[in-house]
């Protein structure tokens, strides 16, 4: 694999962005399940999954069946959002990813060829994503962006060839529909030809809503992902989702990282 080179997109600037975690693991969900990957978890999100509005205090009760498993990236009422956070330029992020790739120090290993941007909501940092996407392309890697599909990615990011693991939030998240369903963003991501739609499922009502969204927006390559932060919960939800997935022509993913490590961060 070629050595990293500077991105051709020189006018993006190198201003720091807040990063909650950088780590090396397996992609735990979706089409690249089980594939080694380098992960960037961005801080901050524009949604409040599990709550109808941003929590006002640490003891604000959740109101949704579907809960966010990375609240530490956005819920400042419950978590100290500065803990463990690094403010890094896109180039510094890339340098850290290359340091995490074990082939950097052991050339006998195959280089990690998948970069996953997660959050929070990565598309809040589009300039950083574009820089990283160009770095990935220039070194023979691929990049996936885990997004809630409420923000239009833009032509440049689409042209960079990233894949969008687009996770529309359902009514079970408690987030009002007007905040979680943004037709312009959904349409743009679907039209890119680079979208895989991933829905966290908690029960039968979710299945009906997914079918409605598929019909409304012409969504293709749909994956159901079981809700849960324990192995037992993930397996139980997979069993419940299996038959509906087959009946609707959808795919079913597990959450491999939860099955292996539970709810441990950075895995």
- Binding site for S-adenosyl-L-methionine: what residues are annotated? 120
Closest CA to 118 of 188, 25, 52, 56: 25
Q: Which residues are annotated as a binding site?
A: 26-28, 41, 45, 49, 68, 70, 118, 120
User: Is-contact 92 202, C-beta < 8 A?
Assistant: no
Q: Which residues contact 100 (CB under 8 A, 6 or more apart)?
A: 22, 23, 24, 38
Separation of alpha carbons 191 and 28, rounded Å: 26
Q: Which residues participate in the annotated binding site for [4Fe-4S] cluster?
A: 45, 49, 68
Nearest to 45 by CA among 56, 54, 36, 57: 54
Q: Is residue 46 within 8 Å of residue 150, measured between CB atoms? A: yes
Entry field: residues in the chain: 267
* 193 φ/ψ angles, rounded to the nearest 5 degrees: 75, 10
- Whether residue 144 contacts residue 68, with contact meaning beta carbons closer than 8 Å, is answered with no
Q: For 49, how many CA atoms within 13 A lie in the half-sphere containing its CB?
A: 24
Residue among 198, 12, 152 nearest 94 (CA): 12
Q: Which residues are annotated as a binding site for substrate?
A: 26-28, 41, 118
Among 165, 162, 100, 99, smallest CA distance to 132 is for: 162
Which residue ranges make up the annotated binding site for Mg(2+)?
A: 70
């Amino acid at each position: 694999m070629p050595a990293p080179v500077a991105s051709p997109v020189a006018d993006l600037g190198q201003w720091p962005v807040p990063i909650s975690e950088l780590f090396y693991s397996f992609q735990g969900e979706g089409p690249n399940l089980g594939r080694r990957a380098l992960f960037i978890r961005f801080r901050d999100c524009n949604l409040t999954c599990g709550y109808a509005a941003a929590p006002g205090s640490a003891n604000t009760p959740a109101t949704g069946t579907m809960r966010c498993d990375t609240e530490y990236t956005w819920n400042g009422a419950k978590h100290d959002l500065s803990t463990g956070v690094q403010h890094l330029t896109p180039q510094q992020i890339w340098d850290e990813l290359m340091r995490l790739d074990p082939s950097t120090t052991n050339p006998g290993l195959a280089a990690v060829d998948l970069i996953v941007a997660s959050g929070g909501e990565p598309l809040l940092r589009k300039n950083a994503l574009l820089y990283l996407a160009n770095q990935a392309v220039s070194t023979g890697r691929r990049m996936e962006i885990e997004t809630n599909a409420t923000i239009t990615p833009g032509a440049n990011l689409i042209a960079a060839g990233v894949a969008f693991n687009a996770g529309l939030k359902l009514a079970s998240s408690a987030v009002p529909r007007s905040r979680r369903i943004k037709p312009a963003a959904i349409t743009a991501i679907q039209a890119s030809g680079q979208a895989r739609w991933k829905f966290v499922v908690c029960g039968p009502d979710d299945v009906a809503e997914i079918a409605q969204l598929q019909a409304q927006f012409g969504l293709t390559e749909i994956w159901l992902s079981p809700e849960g932060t324990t192995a037992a919960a993930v397996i139980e939800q997979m069993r419940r989702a299996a038959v509906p997935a087959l009946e609707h022509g959808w795919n079913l993913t597990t959450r491999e990282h939860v099955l292996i490590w539970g709810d441990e961060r950075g895995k």
